[in-house]
Amino acid sequence: MHASQSGAPSPSRANGAITGDQARATEQYVTFISNGAHYGVDIMAVREIRSWQPTTQLPGRSPGARGVLDIRGQVVEVFDLSQVLGGPPLEVARGNVVLVLALDSCTIGILVDSVSDIIQVGAETLMPVPDAGAVSTNVGQIRGMVHHEDRLIAIVSLEDLFPG
C-alpha cells in the first residue's frame, strides 16, 4: 500500500476490492418491512432473525413493548417497531419476524413484517431526512434515507430509538 503525505495508507484497489477510506465509507444494512414501510438497521447490531412466537406480557412497559422472550437463556424485551415509531400496532401473522439486536446497554427484539435484504450503502448515498419541524415526534430516530432499487429505505438510529 502507498503512504499518503500524512503517513497514513491511501485507499487503493487490489483485484477490484475497495480498501482504505473507501471501505470505511461503506456500511451494510439489514432491510425489512414494518407496517408497509421499508427500514434498515446496521448489520453489526443484528444478532439473529427469529420467527415470531408469542411473548410473555409484563405490566407497566413502554408503548410498543410486546412482551419478553427467552432467547438462549436471556430474557429479551420485544418491541413492535410500528408502534414505537408512532404507527398502529402490527397485527401478528404467519411470516412475521423478530430481529434480535445488540445495543450498547442491552439486547432487544423488534417485531417486523418481514426481512427484505442486506444492502451495502456508501456514505455519500445516505440522504438527509426532511425536516418536519414541530410536526414530528420522532426527530433523530431516522439517520437518513437510502434509495435502493425501486424504494426509499429509512435507516433507523437504534441508539435514538431505544436510548439506554
Could you give the domains of the chain?
27-161 (2.40.50.180)
What is the average per-residue pLDDT within 100-124? 94
- Residue 49 clears pLDDT 70, i.e. is over it: yes
What is the average per-residue pLDDT within 25-49? 95
Coil, strand, or helix at residue 21? helix
- Residue 135 clears pLDDT 70, i.e. is over it: no
Q: What is the predicted pLDDT for the residue at 123?
A: 85
pTM for the predicted model, two decimal places: 0.79
pLDDT tens-digit series, residues 51-96: 999 999 999 988 899 999 999 999 999 999 999 998 999 999 889 9
**DSSP states along the chain:** --B-TTSSBPP-EETTEE-THHHHTEEEEEEEEETTEEEEEEGGGEEEEEE--PPBP-TTPPTTEEEEEEETTEEEEEEEHHHHTTSPPP---TT-EEEEEE-SS-EEEEEESEEEEEEEEEGGG-BPPPP-GGG-S-TTSEEEEEEETTEEEEEE-HHHHS--
* Pairwise pLDDT comparison (26 vs 139), residue with the higher score: 26
Q: What is the predicted pLDDT for the residue at 14?
A: 41
Confidence of residue 4 (pLDDT cuts 50, 70, 90): very low
Instruction: Check residue 44 and give left, alpha or beta (phi > 0: left; psi -120 to 50: alpha).
Output: alpha
Residue with cell 434509495: 147
**Mean pLDDT, the chain, whole residue set:** 84
d(CA 6, CA 10): 9
